[in-house]
Structure 1
Amino acid sequence: MATRSPTTPLKISEDADTVFNSSVSPTSTADGDNISGVPLVSDLELNDRRHSEGDSRLRAASSASKLDCRGTTVDDLPDELMLEIFSYVSFSENIKVLQNVCTRWRILAQDAHLWLHEKYIVRQETSEEEAVATFSAVPQLRTVILEKKVSPGFFQALSRSCPHLTTLKTDLWQMLTCLEADNLFAGCRKIRTLSISDKGVRANVRFLDAVARLADLRVLHIRETEVAEKVIPLRIIADGCPHLSDLGLGDMYGLCYQYQDAEYFISSHKCVLKSLRIRWTSVNGRSIVPLLLVCADVLEHLELIINHKISVEEATKTLTALGKLHNLRRLHFGVTIWEVRHLVPAVFENGRLQKLQHLQLSCIVQDETVRTVTQHCPDLRELELLSCADHTDALFEPLHRLKKLETLKPYVDCILEMSELRRLFFKYCICYAIPFEKFPGRLVNLRELEFDYCDGDQGALDRISAQMPDLRVEGSLGAQMTDDSHDEYE
């Protein structure tokens, strides 16, 4: 094992099944754990080493004697310096090389501080035997991410070998039974971030009883695999996980919930709830947003998954309450009801959401909405516009009828005033009127420009790429929604 000079770092090799982060902090973890009381070397050391004062003097005398004969070697370095060197070694080299040198190196290589920020990713090509062996070699592992379905034996090994696990993300199609979840969470009681599929919940709603036993849980994301009307019993989560600050129920369609359960959950978590991704309305059609006013001082991230069953009355309540969530940094929402679209600008007026940094607007959005956002959200860094046009019918207008849109002095001009904007994303939008030629010199901080299924002038997009070399452009423009193939719908 070679040492390194203070100015020359050791070469780091990346393992295909891991993500290595060498910025190890001895006092804190990625999810806020304080380990200042943890000794620099793990408790495993006690099996092989003694630390009495007399023993230390004997070792010092012995080392001095050896130095006279052979000079200084890597074995003479203190544990603190050895750990610093080991922090530059890759995940796989730690397991396959360091831990096989000698007892001392194995103890140091398994020290907690080396594994606080490591992520073990089980990819499609990773065998379960390899994963199980890794768990045994790294008892201090904190983060495991699954990109494939695994057998129940995998979770048994994880539970048995990694009691310090704090983050677990399973594959979207992974099925966990109630018994498997019980056993897993009994061994990994320290889990604070959990991302799982809804398959276990749909199979047995009592599955959440096992999840609720994770008393330290801070983040819970349940991703849906299909459109289903299975109701998530939020009351169970509310009672069992008092520190839960980030709850995500679904991604595209959202998972169902009872209004009374949502009210109970929000009331019991009003001082800790910082992030919420959820359907606009409960199974009985009532909007959840007015309930969120009790946690307006702490809520920072809100994603409302569009529910097409929402009534005009509930949509009105939602938009009225949104503007009062003054601490929001991130907001995703859309409006599908034509009768209430005029209420959207009021959400942002008078600096109500002036702390907003990320905004996603989808479906029916008026030009006045984007103009209001420009004026009243000075800290906005990311803007995503989905299906945005002055009239929804215009999305399907043939190309020769787009002239009327170009002469409307479209709302996109006001985007030029957003000088702090870092990312701009368009999806299902007609982009012919966007003044790309004015972006250089105006949107000086823009670093990402993305398009997904949008119409527009690709030549203008190519020119902006040449003029703004620091700008990353993804996607392309073309007549995808406005070509003659849509003439049949006239």
Structure 2
Amino acid sequence: MSLINLNPQLSEIRRVGIRDLPDEILLKIFSHMSVSELVGTVQKVCARWKVLSQAGQLWTDNVYRIGTWCHVGTCIGNIGNPDQEAIEIFRSAPNLRKVHIWRPITYSVLCTLYTSCHRLTELHLDGKQTLSSSELKNLVEQCPRIKSLRVPCEVMKSEESVEALSHLQHLRVLCLGEQDSSIETPLVLRPLAYSCPELEEIDFMHTYINVEDLKFFLYAKKNTLKTIGIRWTLSGNRCVLPVLASYAVSLECLRVYKFVVSTVPATEVENFTALLRMKNLQELTMTAIEPFPGTVVLAFRDRGLQKLKVLDLRSSKNLYNESVIGFYRACPVLRELNLSFVSMLSDDAFCEIYHLEHLQKELNVRWCQGVPRAWKKLTEQMPQLKIDTTCSRTECCSWQFRECP
């Protein structure tokens, strides 16, 4: 006995699976997958999915990582990324744009990377990576679109290697990875001075720099360089601040490392007052400094640094209440202030914090002496901020000011 279909439309009903989804929906799903998942899973399902997995929009911000970075600045392991896996990933992902490597890799891995991934725009190599000038030259030739690059500091001490780097016409960010070295060999900067026309950020970390080479470099990049990270002293134990104030007045972000106390107070006064000439500075980081009392605030006198939005002076010593109050008055658009572990501060340092009308993200003040008495007044003066007062130990307190949701 046969069944009669009284509704012809029912014969059109069929089971719909994930493979029946339109390309737009599949691409949306794939956009939430990691590089390893796209290559190791998606590409193996079917020919259509393999083609879709190579779509450019899936690779613009997707980062492939080798190793894992931990808070102490070392690679804590090779989490699921043995060399062979990395080689397979590079060979199967020609559209890969961003690679972060937190451990030294073999030549075969590096060679596969630059011979397979010609669209690379961001590459961060480990600070202990061995990289010859010929390998670097091959990398630059095969991956000319690189915009952000981190290389071991030893690379910048070789004339031939720096010449190779100078051919990266789209390079915008150049950072040096830390590497222990007991020999203070200066960096080679001059080949980069009139090359890499789009370079706007460079971080030298703690490496040694010759004064005259730095002046030459800064003068050539005066119209493009916006961000710099650099050690406190240059050759001849000369402070970097007066040099930057004379040759890099257009800087918007400055990070200074390895603070060195001057034996002459007058010299330190000159160093901090030099910052007054950097009128465009918007971010300033000087951590763990130990200046002579009252010298840091000189950089903010006469309402200097009017454009400063971020100030980070964490773990600084000899920084007293008067200096902090000076920051409030001199920096009307300050949005972020980090004074954590500045142990000489007390409640009085925050009595005029209401001057920071534009504070948006977080004011971090930890290990302050005494019990905060000003926070009730701040609740009235700055109602847009959520104030949380907690103590890490009896004689200290931890303040965190966050923008209300």
TM-score (ref. length: structure 2): 0.78
Tell me the distance in 1 between the aligned counterparts of 2:388 and 2:258: 26
Contact 1:425 1:450 in 2 (8 A): no
Q: Say which SS state the counterpart of residue 363 (structure 1) adopts.
A: coil
Tell me the distance in 2 between the aligned counterparts of 1:385 and 1:133: 46
Distance change >3 Å, CA 163–CA 358, structure 1 → 2: same
Superposition pairs of residues 33-432 of structure 1, within 5 angstroms: 79-80=23-24, 82-123=26-67, 124-125=78-79, 126-201=81-156, 204=158, 206-226=160-180, 228=182, 229-250=184-205, 254-293=206-245, 298-308=250-260, 310=262, 312=265, 314-333=267-286, 336-338=290-292, 341-361=293-313, 362-385=316-339, 388=342, 410-415=348-353, 418=356, 420=359, 422-426=361-365, 430-432=368-370
Contact 2:385 2:402 in 1 (8 A): no
Deviations 1:87-133 (A, max 9, x none): 34454442233322333332221021210010111121211111111
Percent identity reads: 28
Tell me the distance in 1 between the aligned counterparts of 2:350 and 2:365: 11
Q: Which moved further from structure 2: 414-423 or 256-265?
A: 414-423
Q: Which amino acid letter does the alignment assign opposite residue 319 of structure 1?
A: F
- The Cα shift of 1:304 comes to 1.9
Q: Quick check: 1:445 aligned with 2:385?
A: yes
Tell me the distance in 1 between the aligned counterparts of 2:267 and 2:189: 21
Q: Which amino acid letter does the alignment assign opposite residue 305 of structure 2?
A: L
Tell me the distance in 1 between the aligned counterparts of 2:348 and 2:128: 44
Tell me the distance in 1 between the aligned counterparts of 2:114 and 2:387: 43
- The Cα shift of 1:470 comes to 8.6
Q: Which moved further from structure 2: 412-421 or 370-379?
A: 412-421
Tell me the distance in 1 between the aligned counterparts of 2:328 and 2:373: 16
Tell me the distance in 2 between the aligned counterparts of 1:448 and 1:210: 52
Distance change >3 Å, CA 152–CA 445, structure 1 → 2: farther
Tell me the distance in 2 between the aligned counterparts of 1:84 and 1:387: 45
Tell me the distance in 1 between the aligned counterparts of 2:385 and 2:207: 37
Contact 2:332 2:355 in 1 (8 A): no
Tell me the distance in 2 between the aligned counterparts of 1:236 and 1:436: 54
Q: Which residue of 2 aligns with 1:48?
A: none
Tell me the distance in 2 between the aligned counterparts of 1:222 and 1:449: 38
Contact 2:339 2:365 in 1 (8 A): yes
Tell me the distance in 2 between the aligned counterparts of 1:241 and 1:314: 35
Q: Which amino acid letter does the alignment assign opposite residue 39 of structure 2?
A: I
- The Cα shift of 1:138 comes to 1.2
Q: Quick check: 1:457 aligned with 2:401?
A: no
Tell me the distance in 1 between the aligned counterparts of 2:210 and 2:216: 10
Q: Say which SS state the counterpart of residue 348 (structure 1) adopts.
A: helix
5+ residue gaps in structure 1? 1-67, 391-404, 472-490
Q: Which amino acid letter does the alignment assign opposite residue 194 of structure 1?
A: L
Tell me the distance in 2 between the aligned counterparts of 1:352 and 1:169: 36
Deviations 1:139-191 (A, max 9, x none): 11111111222211111111111111111112233232323322222222211
Q: Which amino acid letter does the alignment assign opposite residue 301 of structure 2?
A: E
Q: Say which SS state the counterpart of residue 331 (structure 1) adopts.
A: strand
Tell me the distance in 1 between the aligned counterparts of 2:90 and 2:190: 34
Contact 1:235 1:261 in 2 (8 A): yes
Contact 2:156 2:188 in 1 (8 A): no
Q: Which amino acid letter does the alignment assign opposite residue 162 of structure 1?
A: C
- The Cα shift of 1:217 comes to 1.2
Q: Which amino acid letter does the alignment assign opposite residue 296 of structure 2?
A: V
Tell me the distance in 2 between the aligned counterparts of 1:224 and 1:299: 23
- The Cα shift of 1:211 comes to 2.5
Distance change >3 Å, CA 134–CA 264, structure 1 → 2: same
Contact 1:286 1:314 in 2 (8 A): no
Distance change >3 Å, CA 223–CA 84, structure 1 → 2: closer
Deviations 1:13-70 (A, max 9, x none): xxxxxxxxxxxxxxxxxxxxxxxxxxxxxxxxxxxxxxxxxxxxxxxxxxxxxxx998
Tell me the distance in 1 between the aligned counterparts of 2:375 and 2:279: 35
Provide the alpha-carbon RMSD of the alignment. Answer: 3.7
